Homo-oligomer: A and B are copies of this chain.
Amino acid sequence: MRISDLARESGVAVATIKFYIREGLLPRGAPEGPTRALYGPEHLSRLRLIRALTEVGGLSLSTTMDILKASEDGVVEIHDIFGMAHRGLPSRSIQSQDSPSLDSATKEVDDYLRSRGWRVKPGAPARTDLGRALVALRGLGWDLGTEAFDVYAGAADEIAAWEISQLPLDAPLPRLIEAVVVGTVVFETVLTALRRLAEEHHSARRFRGNAPRN
């Protein structure tokens, strides 16, 4: 198909398609005459994956490029896609400055993860997010240790085991990459939304209609 057909089929504007080709995210079409090129279903599925990673997944173009490159090299392990996606995702961290107390809190987090038997890379950004959470709580005078994570870690463990079991391992690699990245991002939103709703529900059950406090 021509680039205009590709644009219509994919919902991606012609200018954006040309940009993706220049940046190396999308392969060139097969030349047809001096100014025209023909595109096939592989272009359509690649565009779909780029949109999934950037628009739904919120990944930057450069992280998207890394993931696409790795998948083309044919040596990608599914595990590495998780790593790339997690490093590329916007962190949802509490604000706190780097400080000795953050270093020591992050060490506590590492000890905690080890005590749970979790195999996690030393560079995983979520470790620091947990350290920042401890620092923020302590800055408010909440004297909390990593045991405050237990209920959340138990839930996260169950969720993640289930998620990994649900991956479409027989699907083509682009579809599997999409499932890893989109699943990570979209169901993070789902989980946080459901937690807020569950808080509202349990708070209604517990407090609704009680005498006002003063």
Q: A residues within 8 Å of B by Cβ?
A: 48, 52, 55-56, 58, 74-79, 82-83, 86, 92-95, 113, 118-121, 124, 126-127, 129-130, 132-133, 136-137, 139-140, 142, 148-149, 151-153, 155-164, 173, 176, 178, 182, 184-208, 210, 212-214
Contact at B56–A204, with CB atoms within 8 Å?
Answer: no
Chain B: minimal CB distance from A24 (Å) = 20
A161 CB contacts on chain B under 8 angstroms: 198, 202
Contact at A130–B190, with CB atoms within 8 Å?
Answer: yes
CA distance A39 to B187 in the complex (A): 47
Contact at A119–B214, with CB atoms within 8 Å?
Answer: no
Contact at B159–A155, with CB atoms within 8 Å?
Answer: yes
Contact at A152–B76, with CB atoms within 8 Å?
Answer: no
CA distance A203 to B93 in the complex (A): 23
For this chain, the copies found in one complex come to 2
- Please report whether the interface of chain A is mostly helix, strand, loop or mixed according to DSSP: helix
With beta carbons under 8 angstroms apart, the residue of B164, B201, B204 that contacts A199 is B164
Q: Name 7 interchain pairs, CB-CB below 8 A, sorted by A.
A: A77-B208, A79-B206, A118-B197, A129-B193, A136-B186, A142-B182, A152-B159
A195 CB contacts on chain B under 8 angstroms: 156, 159-160, 188, 191
Q: Other than A48-B140, A74-B214, give 4 A-B pairs with Cβ distance below 8 A.
A: A56-B136, A79-B207, A156-B197, A156-B198
With beta carbons under 8 angstroms apart, the residue of B160, B205, B213 that contacts A201 is B160
Contact at A133–B164, with CB atoms within 8 Å?
Answer: no
Among residues of B, the one whose C-beta sits closest to the C-beta of A118 is: B201
CA distance A128 to B130 in the complex (A): 28
A160 CB contacts on chain B under 8 angstroms: 195, 198-199, 201-202
Chain B: minimal CB distance from A16 (Å) = 16
A74 CB contacts on chain B under 8 angstroms: 212, 214
A52-B140 CB under 8 A given contacts A164-B202, A186-B94: yes
